[in-house]
Every structure is written in C-alpha cells, then in structure tokens.
Structure 1
Amino acid sequence: MAAATAEMLQQLQSQITCSICWNYFCEPVSIGCGHSFCRACLPSSTATVFSCPECRQVSQVRDFPLINGSLVELTKLGKQLSSQLVQSAGGQRRCATHHQALEFFCEDEQMLLCQSCCQNPEHGAHRLSSVQEAASNCRKKIQHLHSCLQKYFKETKKLLVKEKRPVIDWQEMIRREYLEWDSFMWPEECHHLERMKQEKKNKKARLSQQRRSLQDLMLDLQEAECQPSLDLLRDVKQLLQRSESVLSQRAKALIPEVRVCPISGMIETLNQFRVDVRMEPTSASPCLIVAEDLKSVRAGQGWQLDSQSADDPDLPIVLAEKAYTSDRQYWEVDLTQLPQWTLGIHTSYLRIKNPGRVTKCVSIFFLRCVKKEDGYYLQSYPGSLNHKLNDPIPRIGVYLEYKTGTLAFYNVLQSSLIYQLPDISFIAPVTPMFSPGPPLPGTKPGAMTLCPVDSHLCACCYSSL
C-alpha cells in the first residue's frame, strides 16, 4: 500500500514540477501550447519569442502572464502529501540512494545529505552543517528577507496610490494641446490618449500583481519559518532564490519616463511664430561666456560643479536682449553639446508693500535637464515634473503666449510636447533665459546655441550630429 502511494505521489510530483528549473511550480503560468512553467523561468520581455522546452512550439510570452490558480492549489496539495508520507513513515526522511537518515545539509548545493553522501568526493570541499544548525541559519535568512519584502511591499503600495492619484495629469495636458489644432487631428489624438490610457492600466495591473506576489511570498516565508527542519530545508533553495529574485527585480524606475506623443504638423505650426532671439551679454552671470554673435553661450572657468550643485534652482543665467509683452513667440535651442542645461523665462516687476516703499520682485519659470549616474532627468520650476529621459534631446523648442500665460517645451526632433507649465499669469514683460550647465567634471564645457529662424531639424539632420 505504501509503495503504491509513493508511486502515485511520484506521478503527481511530475505534474507539478517545472521542466526548466526542476523544482515545484512557483507562480505557475501556462503558455500558448498548453504547457506550464514557473513565471520567473519565462522571458519577461513582451518582444521575446519563447520556444517551449516540452514541445518546441514557438509562443509569444506576455510581460505578466496570468498565474494558473489550479496548478497553484495542486502544487500545494502535492507538497502536503509528500510531507504527510514522510511523517507516516516515522517522521524521518531517508536518502534515496543510501537509505540512511538525512542528518546533514550542504550549504553550497543547498541539499540534504546522509552520512554516506557526506563522504562523497563531490561534497568534500563543501560547507556541511547539521540539520538543526542549517535550519536555524535558514530561519534567520527568512526573517531578514521577510523584513526586506515588507519594506518593498510598502513602496509598491505607495506607487499604486500615486498611480491612482497622479501628480501630473498627462492626459489633460495632451488634450489641451490638441485643442490648438484643427479637427483633422482628432484620430491621432484618440490614438495617443488611448495608448496612454492603456499604459496607465497596464502599469496599475503590474503594480497590483506585484503587490499580490509580495503578499504571497511573505506568507510563504512566515509558513516556512515554522516548518519542521527537514521540510524547511527541503524547499529552502527555491524559497531563497525566489525571494532574492523578487528583491533584485525591485522597481528600477520609481521615477517615470517622459512620454513621447508625436503630433503631426505641430512644429510646422509653431514655426509660424518663430522669432529671432539674441542674448544680452550684460545680463550674463560672471561665469558665463557669451559669443560675439550673441547666439550662443558656454560655461566659463568660474563655474565649477563642486561650487554649484546641479540641484540648486539658482543657476547662472543669461537673458535675451528682448522682452515680450504680447502675442505668441517660438524659438529653438541647440543642446547637442550639453548634458545639463536650463531653459525658461524671466520676469521682474515692482511691488508696493507700504506707502513710499517699492520692492523689485523676480519670477522665473524653467525646464531643466540634470545628468545623474543612471541617466538624464527633466525637472521643472515651478511644478512637479521629475521624469527620466531615455536619450538626450538635441533640440528644444520653447513656445510663449503672453495673453494666455502659456509656456511649453517641445522635442523638435520627435515633434512632441515635453511639458507645459501650469497656468501662469504674466503681469510684466517676459524675457527668455538660458543656462548652459553646470558642466560635468573632467569635460570641456559645450555651447548652448540659439537656432536661426530659418533652420529646421529632422531625423536625417540628427543622424549626422
């Protein structure tokens, strides 16, 4: 009877074992051909074509395939039956090769051994521990992992809350932008808004799935900590690998990326308001050098990164020679030589606080690019923009509409809106401002150049830069 039960259990185990990692299923998923594997064993990229190890049929693997709930329950049942079978046989697991009690644990191979196994030359240089000592160390690791996962779970929960109530309403920003264009743009607008809606839905689904996976893993760690030593060590290798895998896959991009939504004909339309902007050298900070043609500026020797933080909003600037008080203006700036820069507008006005006392007030509004170790980041002032860039932007277009208080920044190459500062009320002349840095240590400062009114940038121009 016991032999028949063991044979049935062996057949069950073959059905609940992943053919890639050869462990019990962990978050099992089924692919197009019908075979199932651990989710972590499958490629995660949506562009990955996966050949099934069982039948070699090619399947397109989704980013987050749905977990097969029936297989999860069946795997749990198989583990319980295996544990019960051991207990019914006297509560002591024996080596399948030597039929001796499993009293030792190999730290290098993460597996249980008997006395004869320990004498095998392949384990000669390995670290061996008693079952009790190994189980104690394992429980300490589990407690540490559980603590880390709790912190990760809280971070994921916060991200999910932020996704429900985003700081920046990108959909509203894009919608207002499209109101500026003719009705024939409606299909393109629908396409971009639907894509953004789907991206938001997918991100929310991923965060929800991540949160559920974290909850399940923390429960498994708690249960494992209370298991008998033999049962704990039997599954510890897979449990530790799963925990470390989850921790290593922590959300790398807590800061979102800048969205790219090309709008047909947008730059061509903005060029109707193109103005010839020149710099006013007398307004430049001492550490800036303005070219003789008044069309470019670079950082001088006096601007050092160690004396001027890239996160400091009060950066050295130079103003344009002309201020604007009406109409619409658009200008473009070449940034191909600069890893860090600031572009925006400057306005000053007089405020009467008390009779006979007049105070000069200054306001600035800008978009800034900051270079960090893991990439480029766009920040705004005022506002809450803090988004990551996939690649540097070679040319920025700036659009100013005085009457409506509009200040917007565009990626000229991709013909897309980068960011529009929220409702501004201008009460004084507005002057374009520029800041080419701060320069990075060990690099030669590059120039920020105002583009000629008749210049245009396209993909073929960018490829030659």
Structure 2
Amino acid sequence: MASAIFIKKLREEATCSICLELMTEPVSINCGHSYCHLCIVGFTGNQSADTSSPGTFHCPQCRKPFQSGSLRPNKQLRGMIQTFKEMNQSMCNEHGEQLHLFCENDGQLLCWCCERSPQHKGHFTATVEDACPGYREKLQKAVTKLKFTESIYMQLKLDTTQKISSWEKKIKHEEERIHSEFTNLHTFLHQEEEFYMHRLEKEKEQKLSRLQDNVAYLDNKLEELKNGILELDKKCQCSARNFLQGLSYQSRNTRGCFFGTAYCEQCL
C-alpha cells in the first residue's frame, strides 16, 4: 500500500496544474514551479502582461512574477516523468502493487490484491514469468502462420502483376496490329480511289471528245443547212421565168434534182 501512496504522490508532482495531465516537455519558471511548455506559453499568450514591467507575468500557482523569456527546460522532471510512465505500466492502477500475475481466464495482468478479489476467485493464475513462454510460443506460431499466408499473397500479387504486364503487352501488340492493318487498308483504298478516279477521268475525256466531235459535225451540218436555206429562199424570190428557167433538164444533178441543190428533200 505504501507503493500506491508513493505512486500517487509522484503523479501529483508530475501533473501540470494547467492541463491537469502528466507534463509534456516540462519547463520551470523563476519561482520553481513547472508546467508543460505549450501550457505555460499558451497561458502567457492569453494573459495581460504587467504594465509596469513589459514581458512579466504571474505564476498560475503562487502568483510570483516571471519573465516570458525565462522559461528553462526541466530535464530532471522530464526523466522522472518518463520513469513514472514506464513504472506505471507495471503497477496496478487500483491497488498500486506490482502486476506480477496473469489471469488465464480473463487474459489480464493482476497484482496479489486483484488475485484475492471476488472478481478473479477460482480463476487459474500464473506468474508473468511462467505464463509468458506459452503465450510467446502461441504468438510465434501465429506469426509463422501469418508469414506463410503473407508469402502466398505475395506470390499471388507477383503472378497478378505478371499477368497485368503480359496483358498490357498483348493489348499493345494488338493495337499496333490493328493500326498497321488499317494503315494498309487506307493505302489500298487510296490507291483504288486513284485508279477509279483516273479511269473515270479517262472515260469522261473520251466521251466528251466524241460528244464534242458530234457537236462540231452538227455545227458543220447546221451551217450547210443555213446556207442551203438561204440559197433556196433566194431562188424563191426570183421571177417566175428565172425560177422555172433554173429547172431545165440540163440543170438536173446526178440525183435528178430539179432545184440544182443538195438541200431539197430528195437530196437529203
């Protein structure tokens, strides 16, 4: 029980009076009181400094003045707090005694007072030294099993990664093949287009040439017809004597035309 009182007293000394928790990075001020570094800095930031002495504040516990720049780390207190934390882990919070027993039923560390309490009455307990090897062996087996499972998953991951790489290469090869085939197809279609366009152009030229020849021929025939029509109109304007005089048998052409021209219906 004396150890519990000692631990309680030690905790009180190591507790910051501002945050009421174990000090973190403890610093001391002029009066000797110590606080968490962040707590005392926050305290000075929220308080008004002494107007008669700039930068001077009052201790939260004893109200003695101190300078904001006089904070100094308390290394001894910091070491004591670290020791207290380590020691506190092996001490019973309820009874303040050493946790040297292990309850198999509850899986809990006990002190000799906890073992005799009604809560653990009839439970199987063993010293920490005796209980540890068995649980350590179980833990080691679990670790071995987990490592084996880990190796399986690592191999599966490796296989999957290789499949992904293989699949990406296959897809890239297929993309290149499709691109090459369509490039060749585009080239072929372009060549076919040029061939058919050339053939069509040649056919167009030949057809136009024949049609233009026909047009020229018809223009020539039309010119001949115009001349014949003018000649016949001119004969029609002649006097009866002159008109009939030109129809003598001597003036017949080789076709037997009485008009002496090749533009009558008989000659045409």
TM superposition score normalised by structure 1: 0.20
Rg larger for: 2
TM superposition score normalised by structure 2: 0.32
Flag the structure with higher strand content. 1
Greater relative CO, 1 or 2 (CA 8 Å, sep 6+): 1
Flag the structure with higher helix content. 2
